[in-house]
Every structure is written in C-alpha cells, then in structure tokens.
Amino acid sequence: MNTKLINSLRRRIASTSVGPSTARRMGPKGTIKAARKYLAGLKLASFAKKTEKKFQAVLNRATLRFVNHLPRRARHWGAARKFLNIFLRGVLYNRYLCEHYNLYRIERWLELPLDSHVAKCLHREKGSGILPRWKTVIGLDKDTNQRYQEFATEVAKRKKYNTYRIHLDVYYWRHEFVAPNSSYNRTRRTRLHR
C-alpha cells in the first residue's frame, strides 16, 4: 500500500474527527489542533488485537496518553475518549486504513462515541433505567462510560439488523431532526417503495 496515501488518510480522518462542533466547550484554544495531532500520530497497528481484553487495554492506554497530550484546561478523560472513539470509527469506515492495519476484527469492540445527543437516544431505549443520569462529556469517567457501553451493546443486539454498538451513532445521528416528522417519513417510505 502507498505509504503516502495511508498517512494522508490518517491525517484527514484525524482532522475530520475533531472539529469545532465535536470539541465545543471542551477546552481552550489549541484543543482541536492538539487532538488532531495526537490522533494523526496514533499507532493504529497497536489496536489490531485478537481479544477484546487486549484491545481494551490498548484503548485505555491511548486514552490516558491522549489526556496528557491535550492543553492543561482540556485534560478530560471523557473528551479524549470521545475524540478517540470517533477517530477509530472513521478508520474502521475507511477501507484502505482498515485493510492496511487489519482492523476489521475490532469492529465488535469499538465503543460508541458518547455525547449528550447519543446519551439522550440511549435513555429512550427500552431498559435504559439502569443508566446513570448523563452529565457532560468532560464529566464522563471510565466507570460511567463502561455502563453506557454495556447498555449500548445490548441495544445494538436488539436492533433489526443485529449491529455492533459503534454503529448506533449512525442510527442516532440527527435522530431528533428526522424521527419526529412522521409525514416526512411516510412520504419518504412511499417514494422508496414505488
């Protein structure tokens, strides 16, 4: 594989993973630049593990290093984990990077990137009473994240297509803007089935 292309794709996904809307209220000026730099330099091959336990260990170490790489006032475990999860999802969705680093097997272990919108959607799911109240991304800690991820795994299994939790974000994205408009959905279904 063309090394220059692989490196360019990594930088591109790092850049698109952490933008102004993703990092809103998560740190001072320079947070986005620092996050993108860390992600672009991440050793993706280290995530290609054969067991979930080993993958989680790498993910946890990468999160802690990420926190220390961010500007002092932006050093929040929850923000670093969210940025990292969005980046890894982008890598998974990129055929070239996924093949190059042999990351297909980690699809089932990748975490759902958490924020207030995703938390709201998870709280609407059946059985969500076990979830703790959502606070903020920067207030998210490892234990609370784990509880949300375990619940997201169960929700993903119940979905019509029996998906993995990482893909729930695709279902939830802009959910509140599309789902409530039933006339739009009826019209769209009618057009699709003609």
Residue 137: Cβ-neighbour burial (10 angstroms; 0-12, 13-18, 19+): buried
Question: What integer pLDDT is reported at residue 47 of this predicted model?
Answer: 98
Give the percent of the chain with pLDDT over 70.
89
Of 49-53, 56-60, 71-75, 80-84, which gets the smallest average pLDDT?
71-75
Question: What integer pLDDT is reported at residue 171 of this predicted model?
Answer: 87
Four-residue CA torsion sign, 22, 76, 50, 171: negative
* For residue 183, pLDDT beyond 80: no
CB atoms within 10 A of CB 60: 13
The tokens for 82 are: 């969210």
DSSP class of residue 112?
P
Of 118-122, 138-142, 170-174, which gets the smallest average pLDDT?
170-174
- The 10s digit of each residue's pLDDT in 95-113 is 999 999 999 999 999 999 9
Question: What integer pLDDT is reported at residue 20 of this predicted model?
Answer: 84
Secondary-structure percent of the chain, ordered helix, strand, coil, rounded to 5: 65, 0, 35
Global pTM value: 0.87
How confident is the model over 111-134, as a mean pLDDT?
96
* For residue 132, pLDDT beyond 50: yes
How confident is the model over 141-162, as a mean pLDDT?
93
Q: What is the mean pLDDT of the chain?
A: 89
Question: What integer pLDDT is reported at residue 19 of this predicted model?
Answer: 87
- Alpha carbon separation from 33 to 24, 30, 77, 82 (Å, rounded): 13, 5, 17, 16
What is the longest distance spanned by two Cα atoms in the chain?
56
Question: What integer pLDDT is reported at residue 173 of this predicted model?
Answer: 81
State residue 131 phi and psi, 5-degree precision: -80, 145
d(CA 153, CA 93): 19
- The 10s digit of each residue's pLDDT in 18-45 is 988 888 877 778 999 999 999 999 999 9
